[in-house]
Structure 1
Amino acid sequence: MRNLQHEDTGSYWCVEEIVGIFQVDETEQLHLTVQSGSYCTVTTVGDLSVLEGQSVTVPCHYNPQYISHVKYWCYGRMKDFCSSLARTDDPTSAPNVKGKVTIADDPTQHVFTVSMQNLTEGDSGWYWCGVELGGMWVADSTASLYFSVIQGVSVVNSMVSADEGRSVTVQCLYSKNLRSSERRWCCSGNWNSCMVTDSEGTFSSRNVFIHDDKNSMFTVTLTQLEMRDSGWYWCGAGQQHGAVHVSVTPQATTRATVSPVQYLKTTGRTPSHLLVVCGVVLLVMTVSLALWKLRKHYSKKSRKNDNFTMCPWREGDYKNTSVIFLNAPAQQVQML
């Protein structure tokens, strides 16, 4: 199945197939022999690679007619000789793995799930989803898968995206043997760009923050994303690393258009910027008028002063003029 969507959630099962075998006898007559059989009555996921120290949950799907049957999970290369690790009718049947392996049945979805915790390299091998059919001469319905428990680094989601200006978080997983190693976040192909955690398992800069849980995962948070931040990066621990692609999408911008009629209708008063412009124009006109009046006033005063003559003398004005000398003896005063 490809291009799955949320609506595809649910249970699926294989249906019975009818196989027709064509045979031709000596009389050249065609005979069809019909054989009815049930195929893939139990199904599960494909082979898995899991980091050491991590957990895994496996779904085992079965046909509706097996709702009331016992389901089990066992370990071993051969189905007939595998070691039972968990059963739906007796959860304590394997005390040596108690707490590490759990099994749960969901009859409404026709699936039982098996969870395994804290995996080690020794847990690698073949596992079986089984439905017990309850008969000596009837084989159980089973499906197998192979676990590879490995050392290294992986990412929860290798493709992440966010809008420009937003933030995004990347979860990086590492195996148990790398717990004492430093954590790194690097631009792919450029080791000089690596950002390394300190002894507390953290790193902080303007737009990158790294936090390590000191157990199996560290998170990298990128903030204030820009278009140039798009590209491939590495989660690193020790000499191991996992690749992740960050995609930054342009921020959507919308511009509202308002018609003049709508603007006048919804606006109750004159916009403030128009009031400011009007005030400035009025101030300039007032100052100009005042300067013009002052200039006119001083111009008139200057013309009046130009027609004024100090002490005009005319012929004959000096006749019959008396001159009095102060502090002089009275006998010395003569009429001129």
Structure 2
Amino acid sequence: MTGVCVCVCVCVCVCVCSAPDVSVVNSSSVSGHEGGDISVQCLYSSDYQNKLKQWCRYKDQSCYTVGRTDTSQNSSVQISDDGRRSFTVRMTGLRLTDSGWYWCSAGDALSPVHLTVIEAGVESYDGGSNHTLTVQTGGSVTIPCYYDKKYTQQKKYWFSESDKSNTYTNTTEKNLSVMDHPDQSLFTVTIRNLQNKHTGNYYCIVETGEQPPIKTIYEPYLKIQSAPDVSVVSSSVSGHEGGDISVQCFYSSDYQNEVKQWCRYKDQSCYTVGRTVTSQISSVQISDDGRRSFTVLMTGLSLTGSGWYCCSVGDLQVPVQLTVTEPKRAFTTIPAATPSPIEADIHTTQQSANRNPTSVNKIIYSK
């Protein structure tokens, strides 16, 4: 098999081939719920038929081998080889600590896979697929585009399908701003003065520096309406650590019977109306008043709760930014105490001594 191999840090080689020796079916990322299970199918070429097949974790360099079932402090891992150039990894009893990077390995060839474990009781959605964002005519919207940390130094851009234009990050125009936030692993796109002509498909894209050369990380469809089917009073909200915030989401009568959710972009987790869920970032409760609005109440906020969320009704969404800050510390001014008569005498004596050092002996030793 032909290909170009580039060696990094002496011991790791990345091979760019027309047909990779090891690959993953469907996607290089997978998610599951705490206590649940996931499976990953790893493919390998005929040249690697007799090589050792493993599922390894980057964090601690631990590996699980085909034909064995291992139970670790995290989950139970079983790997089976079908003998037809693929092996399947099955992880059961998932824990939150299982989240992270792994790889399918056959001999010295490997393919990375990212696993996200979502807290029990929290639903998930496909963050990369089409989502319709509703915006009022003449209004504005800010869209978060989260990317993997390994793409921090790579170029990113916003692509408009209607006019086939690319706008790279850290660009500000009259009605468009695309800004990178590497410390948060996302870039944001702010579009102002939206009109009906702006309705259409858009894409958040990363230039990977590998194969394939570009990766679409988010595909929003913008729907510009004079009266949006889903909306919020404000697209940003803030609160203090340990405190709480509430967000009111409005929807049209056409969406009365659709599922209402509050979703987090970063980990693609969702909270549904009628349920109270306590997570690592806060306790989330959502209630629908039946009069075309539902309210999200987040209590016990933590700093890690900061980020982008959305009000979701059916297939429609509206982004909302949450900022959690440290609580303000109160400073109390303590008034100076009035000296006692004895302290006053000592102070006066000391002042006198400073002016006339020879009198000190008389003051201290006289009887």
Report the TM-score when normalising by structure 2.
0.29
Whichever structure has more helix as a proportion of its residues is 1
Structure number with greater Rg is: 1
